[in-house]
Structure 1
Amino acid sequence: MEDKDIIQEAARTIFMEAKAVESLLTTVDMEKVAEVVRRIGDGTGKVVIAGCGTSAMAAKKGVHSLNCIERPAVFLTPSDAVHGGLGVLQKEDILILVSKGGGTEELVQMIPACKAKGATLAAITENEESEIGKMADICIKVKTGQEPCRFNMLATASTLCVISVFDAICISLMQYTNYTKEQFAVIHPKGAVGDRLLGKVKEI
């Protein structure tokens, strides 16, 4: 495989992923996104997010971003959840299950406890008719066409789309809660971002 072929494949991947994210503007129900934003912004509890495999990676990014804007969030490992870890979920919390197909067994097993506790259940999945999709109080459908992978199996474009939806929720929450730069500076004092927020000048 020559360099030009590698470059072409890399460019094709980036193009397909960019188009997949762009398609969210016409495929995602923004009213449901707004409902999640309102529930998190108006609520007194935390956000608990769970997913398996690549969905777990997207879920962890969502958790980190929420914490960065002071909306307390935790990632709940599905295998630990059904062995007592579900004790972290309380009535005032929101549980978000991330599952591409919507039938991930490890996540389905978490639903009865969520319902019994009276917590809000949200789902991010491409299949609204799946068990997770139908059981959720709020189901945000995130469906991607073809993955860049030649087998259409490696979750890449679809994962970026889920992350993009989490980003949309977080940025909207910043506006909804009037989150300030001063608040951000308190919890992010280090690194280049911390330097900018605190008005530091690096000496070289």
Structure 2
Amino acid sequence: MSPEAIWDAACETWSVGRAELDRLASAIDRVAFTKVVEAIGDCRGRIAVAGVGTSGAAAKKIAHSLCCIERPAFFLSPGDGVHGALGAVQPDDIAILISKGGNSPEIVRLVASLKAKRVFIIAVTENENSEIGRAADQLLKIRIEREADRFNMLATTSTMAVIAVFDAVCIALMTYTGYSREQFAIIHPSGAVGERLLAGKE
């Protein structure tokens, strides 16, 4: 494989990703997005975010981003969840369940317990008729046209789209909750960002 072909593969990946990001404004249901922001913004408990595989990686990033804007969140391991870790989730909490197809057994197994604990469930999936899609209190459908690889199978742009949507949720939440620069300085005093905040720089 030539260096040119390697670079072409990289550019094609970015091109596909860019096209999928451009689609989000028209593909995401505006009412559903707003309800997700309102639910998280009004939540009096914590937000448990669960996913497996690349959805699990996205879930961890989303949980961290929510913490960064003072929406207490944590990654709930689906495997640990059904072995006792669901005790961390309480009735005032929200559970965000992420599964591209919506039928991942590890995620589906969480639903009955979450329902029994009266936890508000947000399902993030491309399939509204899936197990978690039907069980959710709020569905947020995120569907892409294609993945970046030539087989249209490797979770690349689909994972990026989920993260991008929740980046947008977090930015909207900053306005919804009146989140301030001073709050951010308290919880992020370290690193380059912390230095800028403590110095009062943009």
In structure 1, the residue matched to 2:20 is 20
Map 1:162-201 → 2, pairs under 5 A: 162-199=162-199
Aligned-partner Cα distance in 2 for 1:77–1:117: 17
Q: Secondary structure at the match of 2:174?
A: helix
Q: Deviations 1:68-91 (Å, cap 9, x if unpaired)?
A: 011000101000000111111110
Aligned-partner Cα distance in 1 for 2:200–2:183: 17
In structure 1, the residue matched to 2:73 is 73
Q: Secondary structure at the match of 1:110?
A: helix
Map 1:14-163 → 2, pairs under 5 A: 14-163=14-163
Q: Which moved more, 1:3-12 or 1:49-58?
A: 3-12
Q: Secondary structure at the match of 1:159?
A: helix
In structure 1, the residue matched to 2:9 is 9
AA paired with 1:94? I
Aligned-partner Cα distance in 2 for 1:46–1:36: 14
Aligned-partner Cα distance in 1 for 2:114–2:15: 39
Q: Deviations 1:9-63 (Å, cap 9, x if unpaired)?
A: 1101100011111111111112111111111111211100100000001111100
CA drift at 1:66: 0.3
After TM superposition, the score normalised by the length of structure 1 is 0.96
Aligned-partner Cα distance in 1 for 2:26–2:154: 24
Q: Secondary structure at the match of 1:59?
A: helix
CA drift at 1:200: 7.5
Matched pairs, number: 201
CA drift at 1:151: 1.4
CA drift at 1:162: 0.2
Deviating runs (4+, > 3 A) in structure 1? none
Q: Secondary structure at the match of 1:70?
A: coil
Q: Deviations 1:140-179 (Å, cap 9, x if unpaired)?
A: 1100111111111110000000001111111110000010
AA paired with 2:100? K
After TM superposition, the score normalised by the length of structure 2 is 0.97
Aligned-partner Cα distance in 2 for 1:161–1:134: 22
Q: Secondary structure at the match of 2:19?
A: helix
Aligned-partner Cα distance in 2 for 1:74–1:32: 22
AA paired with 1:99? S
Aligned-partner Cα distance in 2 for 1:51–1:182: 32
